[in-house]
Amino acid sequence: MDFLTLFAIYVAVVLTCIILICKYSGREHSPLNSLLNILSKVFAPITPKWLQQFCQRALHRLFHKRNNVLIYLQFLLVGAVYAEFTYEVLGFCKEMGSSLTSLSVPYVLLAFETLFFYLCVKRDPGTVTEKTTSSQLYMYPYDNRLFHPYTHCPTCNLIKPARSKHCRVCERCVQRFDHHCVWMNTCIGAYNTRYFLLYLFCLCAMAADIAFLTGTMLLEVVLQSGLFWAKYIDEHGQQQPAGPQFVIQHLFLTFPRIVFMLGFVVFIFLLLGGYTLFNFFLALVNQTSYEWYRSRSHSCEHCYPTLKADELNGATAHSKRFYYSRGLLRNLGEIFFPQRPVGKKDR
């Protein structure tokens, strides 16, 4: 089995694990839970009871309770990439004549990424409490489709404002709820969505810049060594021109850690790039991930009933699908300069 096949299997496994964690974390019933239940029944006769109980508690805590395990894993991966980039790639890039400015960009992006990560985690996403619920009820109108008036949250014992949702993992209702991010161990809501978007942008820029510098370094090595024009003797004693697969395998044998890091950051860029574009699209139309997911089950012709101008409360009348959209600039302004609760108690 050659390098490309092994790397393809690695990418498939990692991508599958990330999708399963992000999609089914916090849900009581999911295919992941069903698979774990089947495996536990199969290995139950040969597994000590104390080990079974420990695994059940660990899995429940990982997927249904707030914990920092995935945050530590994220820091570990970022640290490993930057350690490899600094230890090996940076020296080659300096020898190639790369400017100090271009080589400092990944570290500047790392500083901004860390800042936005901290702000996103530490800032309140918009928790609905007994003191704020009366004023938060006036922030958004009910669309009578996804959000209905006088809906009561049995856990928080509060009336749920429009665009809010109770998070089972954080055990709280969040205003303008987007989703619960397991990588940040917090909810993404009205007051930290801006930091989440900026964090994603910096993370993608980091991966793209490191991939560009590393790829440029490896390309320069190939050009200087003449690998593109090299030939090798196959098992039949015949000379064959070195193709792309031969060049990649040669680079992997010569710079195994660098090539592995390059493949990882390219994979991360492609994965997060699509997710970042999706989130920025939602920001442009003023829709949350939770609202987008729930709206998939409704047909377009039954999106919203005909509403009066005063019921729209600023929403664009021509956009029935995106009820809360008020135009491109206003939508972005609402994300990056979120409105604060204004109601009877605040007057």
Is the pLDDT higher at 66 or at 266?
266
Report the relative pairing of strands 231-233 and 239-241 from DSSP bridges: antiparallel
Res. 39: pLDDT tops 70: no
Alpha carbon 188 to its chain centroid, in Å, reads 11
**pLDDT grade for 298, boundaries at 50, 70 and 90:** low
Average pLDDT over residues 123-152: 89
Domain boundary assignment for the chain: 1-65, 133-193+286-346
Is the pLDDT higher at 251 or at 60?
251
**pLDDT grade for 190, boundaries at 50, 70 and 90:** very high
User: What is residue 335's DSSP assignment?
Assistant: H
One of 181, 187, 202, 204 is an active-site residue; which one? 181
Tokens found for residue 309: 């101008």
For residue 18, the model assigns a pLDDT of 63
Average pLDDT over residues 32-54: 68
Which pTM value belongs to this model? Answer: 0.79
Task: Give percent above pLDDT 70 in the chain.
Answer: 74
Q: What does pLDDT average to over the chain?
A: 80
For residue 13, the model assigns a pLDDT of 74
Report the relative pairing of strands 179-181 and 186-188 from DSSP bridges: antiparallel
Q: Can you spell out the DSSP letters for 88-151? A: IIHHHHHHTT--HHHHHHHHHHHHHHHHHHHHHHHS---B--TTTHHHHTTTS---SSSS-TT-
Res. 297: pLDDT tops 90: no
Q: Give which of 309, 301, 302, 303 is closest to 291, Cα–Cα.
A: 303
Lowest mean pLDDT among 164-178, 186-200, 227-241, 312-326: 312-326
Is the pLDDT higher at 144 or at 45?
144
Average pLDDT over residues 95-120: 93
Known active-site residue 181: yes
Res. 288: pLDDT tops 80: yes
**pLDDT grade for 343, boundaries at 50, 70 and 90:** very low
Average pLDDT over residues 171-200: 94
Cβ-defined contacts of 80-83 (< 8 Å, 24+): 81/210, 81/261, 81/264, 81/265, 82/106, 82/107, 82/110
Res. 212: pLDDT tops 60: yes
Residue bearing tokens 């599958």: 16
For residue 2, the model assigns a pLDDT of 59
For residue 33, the model assigns a pLDDT of 60
Secondary structure of 182-239 as H, E, C letters: CCCCEEECCCCHHHHHHHHHHHHHHHHHHHHHHHHHHHHHHHHHCHHHCEEECCCCCE
**How far, CA to CA in Å, does 214 sit from each of 11, 109, 266, 301?**
19, 16, 11, 50
For residue 67, the model assigns a pLDDT of 77
Res. 100: pLDDT tops 80: yes
